[in-house]
Amino acid sequence: MTREGGRLGLSPSSRLRPRPAMPRPFDTTTAVPPGSAADRLDRVVAALFPGLVPSRAAAKAACKRGDVLVDGVPAEPSRFVAAGQQLTLLPHSGPLPAPFPLALEVAYEDDAIAVVVKPPGLPVSGNQHRTLRHALSANLAASPRPDALRLPEPAHRLDAATSGLVAIGKTASALAALNAAFASRDVAKRYRAVVVGRLEGEGAITVPLGGRPCETRYAAVQHGAAVRCGWLTVVDLWPLTGRTHQLRRHLAGLGHAVVGDRLYGTRGTILRGLGLFLAAVELTLPHPDDGRPVQVEIPPPRKHAALLRREARRVARLSD
């Protein structure tokens, strides 16, 4: 089953779908790689099963449930394991959490992966129930494959304030492949933003963030006059690294903060009720099955063009 809707800009589903029963995932066994230094079990599990255990906290919880075996025996997360020991991750059989009731736009979907559109203001994941992760099960079809995940899992994150495309793994192997593709930078992402001031042409920002190398490519798309800040610029952005708030920090450092940015923006460019003017609008990634490129593109949020039209009218009125 394949569904593609990103280029057509399909509207979100009008109702949530009941979740079909998921196939039972298989047990996963691997050996601690040769040459590995002895380390805590929860850290090793998080490193060896990134597609199934998204964090060290999740690995610790799996150990405490008895879902992790060391050489066939359940073990505490604090136990140290060494190279050559066999680790088995058992499928978690506890009750599924109730889905968060939110209709999502599904831009692409097949039996292995999906790409959904995250609304602005919604965290991808976290301790609270109101997250994109908890809304996925009611919006995506269950995978019929034998390594289907009990719940679909996001393969990467967007800031809560940022809207746009998020890749989802529906099977253990697909999620692991997506995680590896993001880690090796084999995924191309394009963002669309409205920034303060008149940013001309195109270029690259290579200012390190947090002492780490960083690069963002940009290209101005459109300019519009504005009452408070003189000009607004619509800009396309391509992050070549993945630092926290990279695009927002790079643009603010350039003197062109994203409109609506409460962390890095300037006073007078925070528009009440309109949020951040930054969206992930294009995603190209290798499909986990065969490596073919999957390209998904959606239109920028309507509020971007609406802001430029509104400012143009305000400037025209003041000049009369």
Question: Smallest Cα–Cα separation from 31: which of 82, 77, 65?
Answer: 82
* pLDDT at 18 (0 to 100): 43
* pLDDT at 2 (0 to 100): 52
* pLDDT at 24 (0 to 100): 39
* pLDDT at 9 (0 to 100): 35
CB 28 within 8 A of CB 62: no
Give φ, ψ of 308 to 5 degrees. Answer: -65, -40
* pLDDT at 15 (0 to 100): 39
Question: Smallest Cα–Cα separation from 2: which of 112, 149, 165?
Answer: 112
Query: Known catalytic residues?
Result: 159
Class of the CATH domain delimited by 188-319 = alpha beta
Q: Would you list the domain boundaries of the chain?
A: 3-16+99-183, 28-89, 188-319
Q: Which amino acid is at 26?
A: F
Phi and psi based region of residue 66 (left: phi greater than 0; alpha: psi -120 to 50; beta: remaining): left
Rounded-to-integer distance, Cα 108 and Cα 256, Å: 33
* pLDDT at 239 (0 to 100): 97
Rounded-to-integer distance, Cα 230 and Cα 97, Å: 49
- Those residues with Cβ within 8 angstroms of residue 241's Cβ, 6 or more apart along the chain or in another chain: 185, 212, 213, 214, 215, 216
Question: Smallest Cα–Cα separation from 166: which of 176, 177, 155?
Answer: 155
Question: Smallest Cα–Cα separation from 150: which of 94, 107, 103?
Answer: 94
What are all long-range contacts of 218-223, with beta carbons under 8 Å and residues at least 24 apart?
Answer: 218/251, 221/192, 222/308, 223/198
* pLDDT at 146 (0 to 100): 84
* pLDDT at 3 (0 to 100): 54
* pLDDT at 94 (0 to 100): 66
* pLDDT at 53 (0 to 100): 77
| Whole-model pTM over 0.95 | no
Superfamily (CATH H level) for 28-89: RNA-binding S4 domain (3.10.290.10)
Query: Matching CATH topology for 28-89 and 188-319?
Result: no
Q: Chunked in runs of 10, what are the mean pLDDT values of the chain (320 residues)?
A: 45 41 54 90 87 80 89 91 90 76 97 98 89 94 88 91 96 87 93 96 96 96 92 97 94 95 81 87 97 97 95 88
* pLDDT at 65 (0 to 100): 87
